[in-house]
Every structure is written in structure tokens, then in C-alpha cells.
Amino acid sequence: MKLQGYTGRNTIKIFNHIIGLHALIFQIFRIAFKKLESEDKKKAKKEMANQIYHTGIGGLPIILSASLIFGSALVFQFIKISHQYDIGKLTILLICLELSPIITAFIIIMRSASSMTLEITYLNGLGKLNSIIKAKKNPFALICFPKFAGMTISFMCLTVIFNIVAIVGSYIVILILTETQSNDFLEQIVASFTLNDIIVASIKPICFGMATAAICIFRGLKNYKRRNQIFANASGSAVESFFYCIIINIVISINYYI
């Protein structure tokens, strides 16, 4: 009975958590179509710019390094087996569709998920969100939506940068170091790109960014009585975000390959 009760309580807890995340996303999208006053619009844009700066620009050096390292290793192996496989399609599948979204998501989540959750928790704990409500303003419009949009935009932009650097930059490095003469490598990649590839390569980082932002905001809006709960919640947001990104990646990839 104890095991059944424990399982039932946790199942209900997880179900309520998932419902809460979807309700939060719905609320954020509903706000996205509302017009704001000029002053509120400036504040929202500033908050979004700050989120893009901390998440996107702040993570750029790591993304550049990771894309060169992983891209160089893979492209070097691709060149050696270019006579056996369609090298252009293989590069798109492994780098653009699978490797770059997951690695980019991992880097952004490790850098920004916990800090974003702590920031919202801090604002909530100090009563900043309540003060916005008392001023007859919507904290979702001024805080949550800008952070949600900024995080999603950062995911998308950094994934595109990862793809470009991994393919072009690493190939240039390999040409310089190995004196490889496979000049048609980039042409094969461009020729292999299809509309479905572009759609999948765009959908993944957008969904990753939305899921991560929603989880961070949702956890940050909770109230906690003890300090250790705050830090555990912040680290939990990173773990949960990456877990959802893996699930989303599997679902999208299965639909793409089938």
C-alpha cells in the first residue's frame, strides 16, 4: 500500500507539473499577441536583449570552440569514407540534425538554466513580481515573455552558428592541416540539403529553447520556505530541461526518419 501510495502521489505530481508547464506556455503565447504600452514595450525589449546577451552572446565562445572540435573530428572522418557514402547527406544528418542541436542545448542549459531560474526566484522572493502586479502591470509580459523569447532566440541562433562553424570552419582547418583536396565537399552538403532538413534543423532548437525557458520560469515562480530548496530547484531545472530536450529530439527524429 505504501508503494502504491508513493507511486500514485508522484504520478499526480508529475502530471500536475506537466500541465502547469503547458499552461505557462499557453499564457506566454497569449501575452505575445497583446499590445503593450510604449514604456512597457521598452522594458520588455530590454529584458529580452539582456537574456539574449547573457545566454546567446555569453555562450558564443564555448559554442565556437565546441563546433570546431566536434566538427573537425567528424568532417575528418567523413572525408576518409567519402568514397563509400553520400558524404553531404551524412554530414547533414549527423552534424546539422543530431549533433548541433543537442550539444548547443547542453551548453546553454549548463550555462543559463540554473541562473535564469535563480533570477526569477530572486525577483519573486523579493516581491518584485508582486510590485509589478500592484502597479497594474503584467509580470508575464514584462519578465516572463521576454526571457522566454530571449532564450528561444538564443537557442536558434547558436545552433545555426554551430552548424556553420562545424562545417565551414572545421573544413578549412582540415584543409590547412591535412592538405586535403576534396574541394567539392561543401558543394555536396549544399546539394544534399532538402526542405525537410531545414525544417527539422529549425524546429529542434526552437522547441528546445521553449521547453528550457518554460521550465526555468515555472520553477522560478514557485515559493520556497528553505534556502536549500532554492538551489536544489535551480540545479533541477537544468537536469529537467536537458531531459525534455532529449525526449523532444527523439520524437522529432523518429518522425523525420520514418
Nearest to 69 by CA among 188, 156, 174: 174
Residue boundaries of the structural domains of the chain: 2-257
* Tens-digit pLDDT profile for residues 44-77: 888 899 999 998 898 899 998 888 888 877 777 7
pLDDT 10s digits, 134-158: 777 777 888 888 999 999 999 999 9
Q: Which three cell numbers stand for residue 77?
A: 572522418
Q: How confident is the model over 85-100, as pLDDT tens digits? A: 666 677 777 888 888 9
pTM recorded for the entire structure: 0.85
List pLDDT tens digits, range 184-226: 666 777 777 788 888 888 999 999 999 999 999 988 887 766 6
User: For cell 499552461, what's the residue?
Assistant: 23
**In the chain, helix, strand, coil percent, each to 5?**
85, 0, 15
